[in-house]
Amino acid sequence: MADKKVIVYSTPTCPYCKRVKDYLTQKGVSFSDYNVAEDREKAKEMIDKSKQMGVPVIVVDNDVVVGFNQAKLDSLLA
Protein backbone atom coordinates (compact mmCIF):
# COMPACT_ATOMS: atom_id res chain seq x y z
CA MET A 1 0.00 0.00 0.00
CA ALA A 2 3.03 2.23 0.36
CA ASP A 3 3.21 2.90 -3.37
CA LYS A 4 -0.35 4.00 -3.98
CA LYS A 5 -0.84 7.63 -4.89
CA VAL A 6 -3.68 9.14 -2.88
CA ILE A 7 -5.26 12.53 -3.55
CA VAL A 8 -8.01 14.17 -1.50
CA TYR A 9 -10.06 17.05 -2.93
CA SER A 10 -11.77 18.86 -0.09
CA THR A 11 -13.11 22.12 1.30
CA PRO A 12 -12.20 23.49 4.73
CA THR A 13 -15.85 23.62 5.84
CA CYS A 14 -16.83 20.05 4.99
CA PRO A 15 -17.03 17.73 8.00
CA TYR A 16 -16.86 14.58 5.86
CA CYS A 17 -13.60 15.87 4.34
CA LYS A 18 -12.03 16.18 7.76
CA ARG A 19 -13.11 12.66 8.62
CA VAL A 20 -11.62 11.25 5.44
CA LYS A 21 -8.31 12.98 6.15
CA ASP A 22 -8.35 11.89 9.82
CA TYR A 23 -9.05 8.35 8.69
CA LEU A 24 -6.21 8.26 6.15
CA THR A 25 -3.80 9.80 8.65
CA GLN A 26 -4.81 7.25 11.26
CA LYS A 27 -4.20 4.45 8.75
CA GLY A 28 -0.75 5.86 8.03
CA VAL A 29 -1.62 6.70 4.41
CA SER A 30 0.12 9.77 3.03
CA PHE A 31 -1.91 11.87 0.61
CA SER A 32 -2.01 15.16 -1.26
CA ASP A 33 -4.81 17.44 -0.11
CA TYR A 34 -6.25 20.04 -2.50
CA ASN A 35 -8.53 22.75 -1.17
CA VAL A 36 -11.00 23.16 -4.02
CA ALA A 37 -12.58 26.18 -2.34
CA GLU A 38 -9.37 28.13 -3.09
CA ASP A 39 -7.82 26.29 -6.00
CA ARG A 40 -10.11 26.68 -9.03
CA GLU A 41 -7.88 24.58 -11.27
CA LYS A 42 -7.99 21.66 -8.85
CA ALA A 43 -11.76 22.13 -8.49
CA LYS A 44 -12.10 21.73 -12.25
CA GLU A 45 -9.80 18.71 -12.18
CA MET A 46 -11.96 17.16 -9.44
CA ILE A 47 -15.14 17.70 -11.45
CA ASP A 48 -13.49 16.23 -14.57
CA LYS A 49 -12.28 13.15 -12.71
CA SER A 50 -15.38 12.47 -10.66
CA LYS A 51 -18.03 13.83 -13.06
CA GLN A 52 -19.71 15.50 -10.12
CA MET A 53 -19.38 18.52 -7.82
CA GLY A 54 -19.55 17.19 -4.27
CA VAL A 55 -16.68 16.88 -1.81
CA PRO A 56 -14.77 14.98 -0.62
CA VAL A 57 -13.37 13.17 -3.64
CA ILE A 58 -10.57 10.69 -3.02
CA VAL A 59 -8.42 9.36 -5.84
CA VAL A 60 -6.41 6.19 -5.14
CA ASP A 61 -4.14 5.66 -8.15
CA ASN A 62 -6.81 5.66 -10.89
CA ASP A 63 -9.84 4.86 -8.77
CA VAL A 64 -12.18 7.67 -7.81
CA VAL A 65 -14.23 7.57 -4.61
CA VAL A 66 -16.91 10.19 -3.98
CA GLY A 67 -17.72 10.81 -0.32
CA PHE A 68 -16.31 9.13 2.78
CA ASN A 69 -16.89 5.50 1.83
CA GLN A 70 -14.74 3.69 4.37
CA ALA A 71 -15.34 0.18 3.00
CA LYS A 72 -14.36 1.24 -0.52
CA LEU A 73 -11.27 3.10 0.69
CA ASP A 74 -10.22 0.06 2.72
CA SER A 75 -10.47 -2.21 -0.29
CA LEU A 76 -8.61 0.22 -2.58
CA LEU A 77 -5.85 0.73 -0.02
CA ALA A 78 -5.51 -2.93 0.88
Partner 1 sequence: MYDLMIIGGGPAGLAASVYAARKQLKTLLVSGDIGGQINTTWGIENYLGYQFIEGPELINKFQAQVGQFPIDQKIGDKVRQLKKTSGGFEAITEASDKYQSKTAIIATGKIPRKLNVPGETELTGRGVTYCAICDGPIFAGQKVAVVGGGNSALEAVLDMVKIAEHVNLVSLTPLTGDRVLSNQLKDAKNLTVFLEHETREIKGQGLVDGIRIRDAKSGEEKELEVGGVFIEIGLVPNSDAVKELVQLNQWGEVTVTPRNETSVPGLYAAGDVTDVPEKQILVAAGEGAKAALQAHRYLQRLVK
Distance CA 47, CA 41 (A): 10
How many residues of this chain bind partner 1 (CB under 8 A)? 26
The residue within the footprint of partner 1, chosen from 37, 45, 49, 64 (CB under 8 A), is: 37
Q: Is 15 in the site for partner 1 (CB under 8 A)?
A: yes
What SS3 string covers 25-70? HHHCCCCEEEECCCCHHHHHHHHHHHCCCCCCEEEECCEEEECCCH
Q: Is 53 in the site for partner 1 (CB under 8 A)?
A: yes
Distances (CA, A) of 9 to 36, 74: 6, 18
Q: Which is nearer to partner 1, 43 or 59 (CB)?
A: 43
Q: Is 55 in the site for partner 1 (CB under 8 A)?
A: yes
Q: List contacts with partner 1 (CB under 8 A).
A: 11-19, 22, 36-37, 40, 43, 47, 51-55, 66, 68-72
